[in-house]
Structure 1
């Protein structure tokens, strides 16, 4: 249902001839930013400028279901004459304004007329002596299926929807592709070295010997040991039982390897154990 297309013209014709220049000092509209206090005499309103639809249907089945439910007809026993007449009245209205929209409705109208015609004919029996199927059976099946889908769609529409009922919170966190290990401070290295010296003094022997100690040999020994495992705890690279001189030379060898970037001294997090590993070299 819709209002006549010439409703705006009829409304303008009913206005008094003498229009006030302003109503309580409020402009009726704005034209190019300037207030308009009086309607122009040469104002033209197209015939189809205003159209109000009181009901909106999603297709022929929706209209047909609306007509049946509105008059409380039994959907299993549809009075085809009344429903077809009301349906054709609505189709005639939309056909005069939108022929493309009416095409789908006209197809359903033809189906209703066919069913109505078949119901006027005498009932024929099939080869088994049983009466043929009701001509309305296929239409009833489609209407029931459509009504079930429509109810399901209404139930889904009541569920919260993203963008309509709530907004998803989003936060951007920048992550570096390269893993960055916590840096080992000088104070932490000194603390670990002091603990190693204390344990070396506890196991010191009072044997006076002269031993040739080579930093390069200790560097080679450390590299060989790191090749067999991925990580070695810093304290495990020292053998306090061999005395302070060996521990000192071993520590110097460790510093030389770190200086030459052959090894890396790292830890998983602050105050965690310190580990030593071979430096990564891309192939």
Structure 2
């Protein structure tokens, strides 16, 4: 705004004008208010500094985001990037942001240097790798970083699309003034029967068992076996226990009888023989067979 007076005089004229230009009756809607006074038309000498407004057509999260945008916007194959064209577009954007924000352009300049290096390496003669004979592509590392960044970006977009508290919905809160009255359940016949069955099960678990100790001597059974075998040359294995079983002896007595037989065999007083595999097993006194031989 150009005026004949200084800036202080202009400000005083706006704050305390000599002539009140505000109409007594307002028939139109005010466009704005300046120091509390309504404005019904735009000032003709309004001055707006060049740097007062700044418009960003595209916003990017970093160099990779810008590079991926340039590739996807022009439907380039990310596995076969035309480095000359992409580098030129990238440098053009970096030049624009360098003019307005030098600090922001610093990280973009590093990617620009990388693009120029890749472009220069592609102009060199082709060099094969030592391992499998394939040609080294200078763009391989850049492609890998772009694909990883795009994967993370898509995942972030999916997470952002999920409903969020405070942005997409609000948590409903309600207060209910209720009086809760506890109602005791009714007991029927089936409930009593089930309770009685549970008591019987517990009574069975707590039943007492009296275990009596029976005196069983392995030596006595060993003597008994020696007496029985002294009157016969051979005796079948099952026949040795048949007498005890017919007497109705408990299992413990039969087990002790078997242990007595094993003890006699260990002391070389008893021999356990068999004519052939799966044939009947016989027992006999060992000293009798040696005396006969």
TM-score by length of 1: 0.49
TM-score by length of 2: 0.47
- Structure of larger gyration radius: 2
Q: Which structure has the higher relative contact order (CA within 8 Å, separation 6+)?
A: 1
